[in-house]
Structure 1
Amino acid sequence: MQIKKEKIPRATITRLALYVQELEVLEQQGEKVVSSEKLARSCGVNPSQIRKDLAYFGEFGVRGVGYYVHELKEAIKQSLGLDRIWNVALVGVGNLGRALLRHNVLRKRGFVIVGAFDCDPFKIGEEVAGLEVICSSKLPEKVKELNIEIGIITTPQERAQRAANYLIEAGVKGIVNFAPARISAPENVAVEYVDFIHHLFSVAFQISLNQSKGKLK
């Protein structure tokens, strides 16, 4: 897939990941072709948005026919870098970290946690989901040894930056931060935040808004 030079909007990347998930479902159901209208409905967008998103990567679909499910799924996965295995380090083996280590969905999506790290001496040496918990200070040597490219931070808030520093110094170029804290990182290190509270705030607001609208009727 040939990616155009202009900057691709962040929202487009998010939608592309959703398209992949829906295309996988269709493929599992035995569907060979899908119209832009049907794909749009299942993804909660309009057909023109799908066409606009895909246009960043080339021409897809056959007029009057639709999109070939398998081919489109593979093309999007290639564009997102999902056609390969990514080795991941997890820093912070608390309750959330343990849950992620034991969750098979990451591995199924091509993200394999190959190293678990923590600075708590009571956790170091413990085995979780088949991985021995290693001292975070050993990240630099382990990142090279295990060919780790992505880091996941699940530490308490006050330890997030230190965990990020370890990962950055080790050469990791992408971080997903579950800790409720903003972290500083060089421009060449991609950082994404997963904030459950933010989403709960958003849902609470939408519920309150809908309730307010109901009272006005």
Structure 2
Amino acid sequence: MVSQRGRRNGSAVARKLSTPDADNAPTAEMPAVTENGAEEARVRAIPEAAVARLAVYLRVLSAMSEQGATTVASEELATAAGVNSAKLRKDLSYLGSYGTRGVGYEVAVLVAQLERILGLTRQHKVAVVGIGNLGHALANYGGFPGRGFPVEALFDIDPDLIGVPVGGIPVSHLNDIPEVCSERGVSIGVIATPPPAAQTVADRLVQGGVQCILNFAPVVLQVPDHVEVRKVDLAVELQILSFHVARRAENVGGNGMVVR
């Protein structure tokens, strides 16, 4: 999943999608958090790759908390998150959290720190545009509200869907996106439309005050600089996996032994 931005001047302005060291490529500046939850006076930039891992740590820690864990060693958390312990400690240092030798990290404290740095101390209302198979699945997914992302609005252009409740929310027409999103305080828009409609949908979401867009349509969107776009192209992800399968096949001999 990649992030991109653009301008409405006709030329896309995209972020660098790869750098020599992704962990040193900063996102917008985010406040570092000390162990007691207070913001430090200075603001530190957290690399994009590290932000993605912080979200993984939060998911793992939340599951541990539900199972009654109160502390966790860095090695245990790193293993559960699929990273090495050195990278984990570096990531958590952006929060001002360094753990205690021989004890590790307090799960509840670390969860609170991660929720704060990821902006999850308040809910972010979501609108889903395009109620096809994918849109239906997203609208009915019960995991969003529990993580602070309640779906508040649904949109489509099919007259047979307008007014029909999906996941308990009536579907509105695409033309109503700006008004409905503004009235309901939607901050995140999810585009699950065919490619030709995606840019028009993005324009209307921006008009409605949406600040972030999750785009499943295989197109590059042009949006104002203040709007964040995350692109999910499932075909590209499958092609990346295909590359790894092919590479492994090349490195494995006929007897199943790795060729070096």
Task: Report if TM-score (shorter chain) is over 0.5.
Answer: yes
Shift in Å at residue 186 of structure 1? 0.8
Q: 1:19 aligns with which of 57, 65, 76?
A: 57
Shift in Å at residue 166 of structure 1? 0.5
Residue matched to 1:162 = 200
Q: Specify the code of the residue in structure 2 equivalent to 1:150.
A: I
SS at match of 1:84: coil
Residue ranges of structure 2 left out of the alignment (5+ in a row): 1-32, 34-38
CA RMSD of aligned residues (A): 1.4
Question: Per-residue displacement from partner, 1:30-75 (whole Å, max 9, x unpaired)?
Answer: 2111111111111111112111112222133112210001110111
Q: 1:187 aligns with which of 225, 228, 235?
A: 225
Matched residues in 2 for 1:83 and 1:188: separation? Answer: 21
The answer to whether 1:138 aligns with 2:176 is: yes
Q: How many residues are treated as equivalent by the alignment?
A: 217
Residue ranges of structure 1 left out of the alignment (5+ in a row): none
Matched residues in 2 for 1:59 and 1:17: separation? Answer: 15
Shift in Å at residue 19 of structure 1? 0.2
Q: 1:78 aligns with which of 116, 121, 124?
A: 116
Contact 1:150 1:173 in 2 (8 A): yes
Contact 1:93 1:117 in 2 (8 A): yes
Contact 1:143 1:171 in 2 (8 A): yes
Contact 1:35 1:67 in 2 (8 A): yes
Q: Specify the code of the residue in structure 1 equivalent to 2:226.
A: N
Matched residues in 2 for 1:144 and 1:171: separation? Answer: 6
Contact 1:33 1:67 in 2 (8 A): yes
Matched residues in 2 for 1:160 and 1:136: separation? Answer: 11
Runs ≥4 residues deviating over 3 A: none
The answer to whether 1:42 aligns with 2:108 is: no
Q: Specify the code of the residue in structure 2 equivalent to 1:146.
A: R
Matched residues in 1 for 2:69 and 2:137: separation? Answer: 34
Matched residues in 2 for 1:55 and 1:86: separation? Answer: 26
Matched residues in 1 for 2:71 and 2:167: separation? Answer: 39
Residue matched to 1:200 = 238
Shift in Å at residue 207 of structure 1? 1.1
SS at match of 2:46: coil
Matched residues in 1 for 2:67 and 2:157: separation? Answer: 46
Matched residues in 1 for 2:107 and 2:77: separation? Answer: 10
Residue matched to 1:87 = 125
Of 109-118 and 46-55, more deviation after overlay is shown by 46-55
Residue matched to 1:177 = 215
Higher helix share goes to which structure? 1
Q: 2:96 aligns with which of 52, 58, 67?
A: 58
